[in-house]
Amino acid sequence: MATMDDLIKGLNEDLAAELGTVIRYSYQASKSFGLTGVELREMFEEEIADELGHATFLLDVIVDLGGEPTTTPAGFAKPDGIKAMLELDVEMEKKDVENYMAHAQLADELGLVELKLKLEEMAADEAGHAREIRRILKGL
């Protein structure tokens, strides 16, 4: 049986992941060079804004549910080269989708329909990011 504490803990994990992604994408943008790097910098900059939107939503929801939001971002690996960075990103996005879906299930069990749907929407957004990155990887 899901509890509100379980949900808040899960949402804080999602928040830490989003904060970590903002930092990871900023870092990776600075490490992207050449023609491909120019395109990646643009993609990362767009994604950073999207991830910040997710983080802001999670911050508000955690507070609304009576929790204390984390301010500690999740850590991440720093592989060398564009291909390795993008491969990491695909894996991280996949993990984010899985986590959002699991937490949407918790929200559903607690009768929080709006939150369930929003978390599923965020999972779909992350899956879209992964698809976009996989397409870039095919061209490398």
Tokens of 94: 């996949």
- Please list the alpha-helical segments (H only) found in 1-140: 4-30, 34-64, 82-109, 113-138
Q: What is the pLDDT along the chain (140 residues), one digit of tens a residue?
A: 889 999 999 999 999 999 999 999 999 999 998 888 888 999 999 999 999 999 999 999 999 999 999 999 999 999 999 999 999 999 999 999 999 999 999 999 999 999 999 999 999 999 999 999 999 999 88
Residue 122 DSSP symbol: H
Quick one: pLDDT at residue 87?
A: 97
For residue 18, what are the domain limits?
4-138
CATH number of domain containing 133: 1.20.1260.10
Please state the domain count of the chain: 1
What is the model's pTM?
0.95
Give the pLDDT confidence score for residue 34 in this predicted structure: 87
